Structure 1
Amino acid sequence: MACVRGIVRPWAGARPACAARPPPSLARPLSASVPALHGHVHTPKAGEEVHITFVTKEGERVEIEAAEGDNLLDLAQANDLDMEGACGGSCACSTCHVVVESDHYDAMEEPDDDENDMLDLAFGLTETSRLGCQVRVSRALDGLVVSLPQMTRNLQASDFAKR
């Protein structure tokens, strides 16, 4: 077995020297080897809450009180909302895609090139699409409303296997 870009693959014939023993961090699934960028949700101090509303795939509105510095992926997962975050929040997939519905899109920092590249893979991309792992909560986002799309695209190594 050898590890290529975090995916363990069998080698046909002789194994290259580098494949003899992959580093332990690469022998695990990608989501386990890449730590979440932010990792957990903070408890907001009284009077310092930022109010975020998620609209689920079913149309249910879930209002959450967030602390500055949290990201939308961690908030959604901490509140049992259906947002996958397959890459662990490392901006390497589009499974935490959200659509900003409120007027807060312009108050957010511009998406960087990595985020834009991943957004190109998102299902149902809109002009106000963002990746939840990349949107950090700030006071300027108080009242933010985001919708979870009906579907996500989770491209896995098995999707590219020869058939």
Structure 2
Amino acid sequence: MAKITFITADNESITVEGTSGSVMELAVNNNIKGIDGDCGGVCSCATCHVHVEPEFVAKTGQAEELENDMLEFDDLTNEYSRLSCQLQVSEDLDGVVFKVAK
């Protein structure tokens, strides 16, 4: 089981637990404000954009080409940007902190 923390645009810290599925699904199922997942997780809308806290980048890895292409359409991207639909919940993500993009 992985405990994952989301920090919303309102600076609210919410820690949730999951064992499978995508980080986006975990966020949507736990009503994390700011993560909508409008496309259902097929990497075509960027409504699940998060910023990985720098100390956890090694756990999440880098975005692949398709994900980077989608992130190019968002004005609020930075070197820590990821689409949470492209991150799979696993014990490897235990303790990771994501800031929800505004």
TM over 0.5: yes
**Distance between the aligned counterparts of 2:30 and 2:64, measured in 1?**
27
TM-score by length of 1: 0.58
2:4 matches 1:52: yes
Task: Give the alignment partner of residue 92 of structure 1, picking from 44, 52, 66.
Answer: 44
User: What's the counterpart of residue 121 of structure 1?
Assistant: 73
**Distance between the aligned counterparts of 2:30 and 2:74, measured in 1?**
22
Which has the greater radius of gyration?
1
**Distance between the aligned counterparts of 1:123 and 1:62, measured in 2?**
25
Any gaps of 5 or more consecutive residues in structure 2?
none
Greater strand percent: which structure? 2
User: Aligned pairs, how many?
Assistant: 101
2:89 matches 1:148: no
The alpha-carbon deviation at position 138 of structure 1 amounts to 2.1
User: What's the counterpart of residue 28 of structure 2?
Assistant: 77
The alpha-carbon deviation at position 102 of structure 1 amounts to 4.9
User: Where does 1:6-85 land on structure 2 (aligned, <5 Å)?
Assistant: 49-67=1-19, 69-82=20-33, 83-85=35-37
Any gaps of 5 or more consecutive residues in structure 1?
1-48, 151-163
The alpha-carbon deviation at position 122 of structure 1 amounts to 2.0
Identity of aligned residues (%): 38
Residue 110 of structure 1: SS of its match in structure 2?
coil
The alpha-carbon deviation at position 94 of structure 1 amounts to 1.1
**Which 4+ stretches in 1 moved above 4 angstroms?**
none
TM-score by length of 2: 0.90
**Distance between the aligned counterparts of 1:116 and 1:78, measured in 2?**
25
Q: Could you say which structure has the greater relative contact order, defined with CA pairs below 8 angstroms and 6 or more residues apart?
A: 2
Residue 64 of structure 1: SS of its match in structure 2?
strand
